[in-house]
Structure 1
Amino acid sequence: MFKESNLNNKKKFIFQSERCYVRSFVEYDLDDFLSYRNNLEWMKFQGFKGLSRKEYEEALLKKPSFEKGAQFAILRKVDQHLIGDVFIKMEDDTFWIGYTVSPLYKRQGYAYEIAKSMIIWMKQQGEYKIKAGVEPKNISSIRLLEKLGFLLLTEEDGELIYLFHQAQ
């Protein structure tokens, strides 16, 4: 079973990269989260958008569950500023991942850096497959998945499903 001990304290991180760490959301993250999640042009390929503050509070400030799927905050180490979020869900022998970076931090390598660290963390949890779904028109995300070592597995309900290739 994977290690969920860091989730007991919201201030502790789950995993980290060189410039960032990932932890559960806390109330003071919500303003920055709302600013990019409700930017419908930026989020055109994403789900979980356009909600009210109350709806986000209910989803983000409860105890996260990998089995139900949960969003986690990405913070820059240098200033503790929220720059994006990751989604992690565990189904049987598979971790499903997602990632979003605020448009203020796009094209600075943060998505690659944090996704790579997330994969390393997941590999440390045991023998799990790692999958990601992506809209076919989301070329930036497709390129990122391929750069990380994901291969196209199938298409389901208009979404491309990628599988991390373990032999990387």
Structure 2
Amino acid sequence: MKRLLPLLGMLFALLAFPAAAQTDDAPVEYTERVPAENYGQPTLHARANDWADHHFAYGPKTNFVSDAATGTVSVQGTIKLKPVDNKGQNLERTARFDFNFKATDQGYTYSVSNFRVIPDAQQPGQLVSLDAYLSLLRAEKNNDKTKNDRRVRAQANAVASDIAMSFRSYMNQIPTAEDGSVGLPASESAGN
């Protein structure tokens, strides 16, 4: 039993080390490459364009650009981040992000990235990168109490993940009517 306790202690220390060693320096973003060889670039682009134009829930959206020739869609979205004040009351900060999509005949790549925050509601034209905003929060004297830097980073990560899940779910439900390869052409099936 005396030998087992130190071994268990070392095991717990080793398991806890990766979590403790993680840094908060990684950029907040979500990028995924999805193979989709059953659909061509036009079908994938049309589906992504429809999502960005009609189902994008992170508005107001701006800079919506869709190019069928290159298979790209891009849009800027808006979210709310909520640090807290000294009394624990939510403060609302507007943030912007970029959604980018590129289709090929082999699949598609999409990303949610480039988060920027309006740190002062009185100056809505002033945007700073999320990393710069997190540095501002870290420098606040009450950050040990509020943990706003971690709170806001977690919120931004959660939103990036939600956007990605929403988009991927929509892309996974491509109706067969949008894919031209389903069924036989009318001229071939008419003679049988």
Q: TM > 0.5 between the two?
A: no
The structure with the greater share of residues assigned to helix is 2
Higher RCO (Cα < 8 Å, 6 or more apart): 2
The structure with the greater share of residues assigned to strand is 1
Per the shorter chain, which TM-score range?
Answer: 0.3 to 0.5
Rg (Cα) greater in structure: 2
TM-score by length of 2: 0.33
TM-score by length of 1: 0.37
